[in-house]
Structure 1
Amino acid sequence: MKITAIETVPYAIPYTKPLRFASGKVHSAEHVLVRVHTDEGLTGVADAPPRPFTYGETQASVIGVIGTIFGPQLTGMDVFAREQIHALLHRTVGNPAAKSAIDMALWDLAGQALDLNVSRLLGGWTDRMRVAHMLGFATPDRMAAEAERMRDMHGVTVFKVKVGRRPARLDLDVCRRLREVLGDGAELYVDGNRGWTASESAAALRELDGIGITLAEELCPADDVLGRRWLVRNSPVPFVADESATTPAEVTRSLLDGAATAISVKTARTGFTGSQRVLFQCEGMGAEVVMGNQIDGQLGTVCTVAFGAAHASSSRRAGELSNFLDMSDDLLTDPITLTDGTLTVPDGPGLGVAIDPEKLDRYRQDR
């Protein structure tokens, strides 16, 4: 089965409210739908969510690199020759979302061709994952109200709390309010998006430890080498590297240098192939993993739950799988549903999903 074309469709769907965190804020999902077409009539799909404030990609850069470099390079190649395909992709520096979308679309094609679900192809450990919900910046009462709504409506009891504001008192008040409202039955962990210094992070962790947080993610920049190493060594909870450890080489350096003790895996930036390499590396080095979220819509969320459910170590913790609920609409013909705090892998070959052509026409930005 040969690749005949790689299509890119930019689209934008507004969020129901702006999502705010230390490294930026977003008002709409300005993503790129990537479709890989083949000579056997099958089409693989995936979503590329550019995050310019984190990885430097934009809609225009994703479309440009696929249209002018990756598309011409890969046209005519065998869908199953993934190692050859990745060798060509890696000749171009950066562009993680564009590369990952192509990779996941190829896995979607492989599953369709073999009449197997992608999650089974990847490992088939389970068919569902527990869900963690991300709480963006707001007042303590508003963030607590959102957490209560997610618990009462969807059964979610694991929350990732965005922190990193100055002064830190507001974020600490948020965490205290969440613990007060949710009780000891809820799991809370924090993500600073590199917003604090090492000393500010250490002071916050001393107070957060009493609240019972379970993880701390990217509280300070990894480039602050000595401060970060000192902070992680003294952290009372596992310290998660996210945007500072996006490749197997960066994961190795982070873990061996003492800059992290756990790793966030995001299929939106490492696809399925790269995510497996990172995951197996973490297993070999004894590091925990968290399935992260790149503020994904439903298609991206399906990719995350398919990968996370496929492996024992990636399904152990709740995955960050609920941000599609913040979108005012979506593209799938059959929307996914969060029930009893879990998401189930869609049935069917490949990713098991289809794009609604009318909705894509409504939100696409190239017409």
Structure 2
Amino acid sequence: MKITRVEAIPFAIPYTHPLRFASGEQHVAEHVLVRVHGEDGVVGTAEAPPRPYTYGETQDSVRAVVEKVFAPQVVGLDLLDREQVHARLNRTVANPAAKAAVDMALWDALGQTLGRPVTKLLGGYTDRMRVSHMVGFDEPQKAVDVVAEFMQRYGITTYKVKVGRRPYRLDVAVVRALREHFGDTIELYVDGNRGWTASEAARALREMEDLDLTLAEELNPADDVLGRRWLVERTAIPFVADESVPGPAEVVRELLGGSATAISIKTARTGFTYSQRVHFLCESLGVENVMGNQIDGQVGTLCSVTFGAAYRGTSARAGELSNFLDMADDLLAEPLQIVDGELHVRDVPGTGVLIDEEKLTRYRTDR
């Protein structure tokens, strides 16, 4: 069960349309496929989606740190030596997506070696999750058209609306159009990606008080400490910390400091090991979780549902598990299927990631 090799393969797949939100814009998924090889021939696989405008990582930096720094440190360790693996990874600061991908690939390899699904090794609470879809910046009618299509085609009834534009009333108009068109047949919440000031966010929330929003996520900057506390005190709905909580220490800071009342867990950011720690912290404090999305491809999405389905707390709300639908193609040999608004975990050893090697050859950018 020794780790014999770790590799990082850069690939690029275009989106069918630009994804726009307050902190950035995506036209192409320039991600990194991370593989952990074991001595018995098993290969664990995960995906690192770099987000330079949020965490400072790029495709090149992820590949370099995995192959030149992390691989030499973990090769030779046992797949069960997870604490030793993370002790060595954490000698290097930051690089959350790179560390998360190594961690999840290790868990995938371990699950295959033990012949058990990773979701069972983690907790095994359920075999599926309800799906939430992200609606990016758009005009009100176009947003209505997107939701109508996804409701009809995939049965999705929960939607996260990206907000944070100036003037904020355009975003309010989008949310209002969705509520007026679909009524109470859909759940709506908003995500500002730190785009508004605290006062702008407060005004926008007042104008949306009658729209039955269930969550508000990262409406103003994470470093606006007093503004966030002021806003949370005036917000009747759960205020979700996302980019401001890249790890367990920041989760404690935000919750105990009064800057958030719910936490988004992203396996693309904290892998399985540190996502466990974040969830257990929240569970101990009676705080809700949302399974977030880092605009993952299907490999990353499969990891997200693997973790989210493992626990009652992380599966209680719809998880953000559908952004891969905005990609022109993907790498899984057996593509994910969202049916009746749900995504199932795969009842196979590991996470169930099986790569279409022809597609990987087509989309990899290192050859």
TM class by smaller structure = over 0.9
Alignment match, 2:53: 53
Whole-Å separation in 1 of the counterparts to 2:316 and 2:110: 26
User: Is 1:9 the equivalent of 2:9?
Assistant: yes
Show structure 1 runs of 5+ residues with no match: none
> What is residue 257 of structure 2 aligned with on the other side?
257
* Match in the other structure for 2:308: 308
CA distance in 2: counterparts of 1:216 and 1:131, whole angstroms: 18
SS in 1 for 2:152: helix
Within 5 Å, which residues of 2 pair with 1:123-134?
123-134=123-134
Displacement after TM superposition at 1:39 (Å): 1.2
Q: Secondary structure at the match of 1:132?
A: strand
Partner of 1:350: 350
CA displacement at 1:347 relative to structure 2: 2.3
| Contact map agreement 1:108 1:350 (CA 8 A) in 2 | yes
Give the Cα separation in 2 of the matches to 1:28 and 1:55. Answer: 18
Whole-Å separation in 1 of the counterparts to 2:78 and 2:38:
9
**SS of alignment partner, residue 314 of structure 1:** helix
TM-score, length-scaled by structure 2: 0.99
Q: Which amino acid aligns with 1:11?
A: F
3-state SS of the aligned residue for 1:277?
A: helix
Displacement after TM superposition at 1:38 (Å): 1.5
Residue 290 of structure 2 aligns to a residue in which SS?
strand
Q: Could you tell me whether the CA contact under 8 Å between 1:205 and 1:236 is conserved in 2?
A: no
Structure 2 CA distance, aligned partners of 1:302 and 1:106? 15
User: Do residues 25 (structure 1) and 25 (structure 2) align?
Assistant: yes
Task: Provide the C-alpha distance between the structure 1 equivalents of 2:29 and 2:307, rounded to a whole number of angstroms.
Answer: 22
Question: Over residues 262-320 of structure 1, what are the superposed CA-to-partner deviations in whole Å (9 max), with x where a residue is unaligned?
Answer: 00000000000000000000011111100000001110000000100000000000000
After superposition, residues 104-119 of structure 1 pair within 5 angstroms as 104-119=104-119
Q: Which residue of 2 aligns with 1:206?
A: 206
Contact 1:47–1:101 (CA under 8 A) maintained in structure 2: yes
> Residue type matched to 2:242 in 1?
D
What is the alpha-carbon distance in structure 1 between the residues aligned to residue 331 and residue 64 of structure 2?
23
What is the TM-score of this pair, normalised by structure 1? 0.99
Give CA-to-partner distance per residue, 1:15-67, whole Å, 9 cap, x none: 00000000010001100000011111111000000000000000110011111
2:5 partner SS: strand
**Separation in 2, partners of 1:66, 1:343:** 30
Q: Kindly state the Cα deviation for residue 353 of structure 1 after the two structures are TM-superposed.
A: 2.3
SS at match of 1:67: helix
* AA matched with 2:85: I
Judge which range, 337-346 or 178-187, deviates more.
178-187
Give the drift of 1:365. Answer: 0.1
1:295 aligns with 2:295: yes
Residues in 1 aligned to 2:365 and 2:327: alpha-carbon distance in whole angstroms: 17
Alpha-carbon deviations, 1:211-248, whole Å to 9, x = none? 11110000001211111101001101000000001111
In the TM superposition, what are the counterparts of 1:220-299 in structure 2 within 5 Å?
220-299=220-299
- Tell me by how many angstroms 1:4 deviates: 1.0
Cα separation, 2, equivalents of 1:58 and 1:209 = 38
Assess if the C-alpha contact under 8 Å between 1:209 and 1:236 holds in 2: no
Tell me the percent identity.
Answer: 65
Asked if the contact 1:103/1:272 (under 8 Å) is kept, the reply is yes
Q: Which amino acid aligns with 1:79?
A: L
Asked if structure 2 preserves the Cα contact closer than 8 Å seen for 1:35 and 1:46, the reply is yes
Are 2:72 and 1:103 equivalent residues in the alignment? no
Amino acid at match of 2:18: P
Question: For 1:313-332, what aligned pairs fall within 5 Å after superposition?
Answer: 313-332=313-332
Q: Distance in 2 between matches of 1:49 and 1:341?
A: 24
Residue type at the aligned position of 1:188: L
The CA deviation string for residues 94-138 of structure 1, in whole angstroms up to 9 with x for no partner, is: 000000000000100111011101111110000000000000011
Match of 2:336 in 1: 336
- Matching residue's letter, 2:303: C
Residue in structure 2 matched with residue 141 of structure 1 by the alignment: 141
Counterpart Cα distance in 1 of 2:160 and 2:288: 16
Q: Deviations over 1:131-152 (max 9, x none)?
A: 0000001111111100111111
Aligned to 2:65: 65
Q: Which runs of 5+ in 2 are unaligned?
A: none
- Structure 1 distance, partners of 2:214, 2:13, is 33
Other structure's SS at 2:362 match: helix
Aligned residue for 1:313, secondary structure, equals helix
- Which stretch shifts more, 277-286 or 346-355? 346-355
Aligned residue pairs total 367
Tell me, in whole angstroms, the C-alpha distance in 1 between the residues paired with 2:107 and 2:182.
39
CA distance in 2: counterparts of 1:208 and 1:5, whole angstroms: 52
Q: Quick one: distance in 1 between partners of 2:211 and 2:292?
A: 23
Matched residue SS, 2:109: helix
State the match for 2:88 in structure 1. Answer: 88
**Structure 1: 4+ residue segments shifted above 6 A:** none
Q: Aligned partner of 1:332: which letter?
A: L
CA distance in 2, matches of 1:93, 1:325: 33
Q: Which whole-Å CA distance do the structure 2 matches of 1:8 and 1:252 have between them?
A: 32
Question: Secondary structure of 2:313's partner?
Answer: coil
| Aligned counterparts of 1:241 and 1:19: Cα–Cα separation in 2 | 21
